[in-house]
Amino acid sequence: MTKLIDPFARPISYLRVSVTDRCDFRCTYCMAEHMQFLPKKDLLTLEELDRLCSTFIRLGVEKLRITGGEPLVRRDIMTFFKTIARHLDTGALKELTLTTNGSQLARFAAELAAIGIRRVNVSLDTLDAAKFQAITRWGRLPQVLEGIEAAQKSGLRVKINTVALKGFNEEELFPLLDWCASEGHDLTFIEVMPMGEMGEEMRLDQYWPLKDLRARLAERFTLTDLAERSGGPARYVRIEETGQKVGFITPLTHNFCESCNRVRVTCTGELFMCLGQEDNADLRAPLRASSEDDLLEQAIRAAISRKPKGHDFDYSRQSVKGQMSRHMSHTGG
Ligand code: SAM
Ligand code: SF4
């Protein structure tokens, strides 16, 4: 079995799959308040998701991240997790993980840990309950904090993902950092990306470049760059005073494409070879055309042979060149 390698000799070892476009929150940078969600028939079924992920694993994917929308609001999603976890048992899959808003973790953390999940990423932009409600519109902070606690109690490592938003959580930088240090969570900041159809003005207003955030951190702490790379857009520093590791995901200002080992699949089975480009391949049709996986494998191989060298976001001239019209909740962040 030849493993997936793209035209630039990058092995494809990391797959992110969105299992739903739905969510119990309405974060302002991610969704409109009133969203039109997809009809159920358009979504991959749990069985189709399993076939799709298993095929990628057979072709060399070793790390699988489940996302959404909010993955834990998909009906029966634990059935999917339990089934796909068989690849952890065989050793074919090295890591199975998820990105979640944390709202359902109190309910599911123990089960997730029991099937072999070791880490979860939880998105949390503020520790202020009123601000949390404002940014998520429908979210409630205590529920998420309870979820995080349940995850920890179950033995899951928690990484907090915080979207850096100018005029919103600039003052939260040090409180968040202190809280993560005291709770033992890793912390990664994400630069806000030009997704969806929110007004251009609003996004540019909210754009807080991580180099500015980093400079703010450096006023108080000694930062050491770490060589560690994940094959994705994250870069890490160690805060010498606390020993904490902090990540920065800067898809807009830094080029991380040369080491890109990842692709993503939407909840409708579109394979995106690059987060920043529209080119995609429909995997739902081959999934539904045959109960064997040959057509699916051919479609995946054909798509990977088109994986582009890099992407084209550019905020530097205060324009949104390269803007993507899809929402993160659709492609899966
Ligand atoms: N619902 C889950 C969650 O919030 O973690 C998983 C899906 S969410 C789309 C995945 C990640 O994308 C979250 O960390 C979220 O903060 C981030 N995200 C959503 N919209 C974004 C945007 N416009 N720019 C940068 N990050 C964004
Ligand atoms: Fe939901 Fe996550 Fe998007 Fe927030 S960022 S609306 S929690 S999918």
> 163-198 burial string, b = 16+ CB within 10 Å, else e?
bbbeebbeebbeebbebbeeeebbbbbbbbbbbbeb
pLDDT at 280: 95
pLDDT at 324: 47
pLDDT at 317: 35
**Measuring from atom 14 of ligand 1, which residue has the nearest CA?**
123
Residue to mutate, 18, 19, 30, ligand 1, most ligand atoms under 8 Å from C-beta? 30
29 lines ligand 2 (CB under 6 A): no
267 is in an annotated binding site: no
pLDDT at 315: 40
99 is in an annotated binding site: yes
pTM for this entry: 0.92
Beta strands in the chain (DSSP E): 14-18, 63-67, 95-100, 119-123, 157-164, 186-191, 223-225, 234-239, 245-249, 262-265, 270-272, 280-282
Domains of the chain plus CATH, in order, are: 14-331 (3.20.20.70)
Alpha-carbon 113 to chain mean position: 19
Residue type, 153: K
pLDDT at 202: 53
User: Crossing angle, helix 46-58 and helix 294-304, to 10 degrees?
Assistant: 60
pLDDT at 321: 41
Q: Which ligand is nearest to the CA of 190?
A: 1
> 5-19 burial string, b = 16+ CB within 10 Å, else e?
bbeeebebbbbbbbb
pLDDT at 195: 58
pLDDT at 27: 95
pLDDT beneath 70: ranges in the chain = 194-204, 231, 252-256, 311-333
pLDDT at 311: 65
Percent of the chain with pLDDT over 70: 87
Q: How many angstroms is it from 295 CA to the middle of ligand 1?
A: 32
Q: How many angstroms is it from 45 CA to the middle of ligand 1?
A: 23
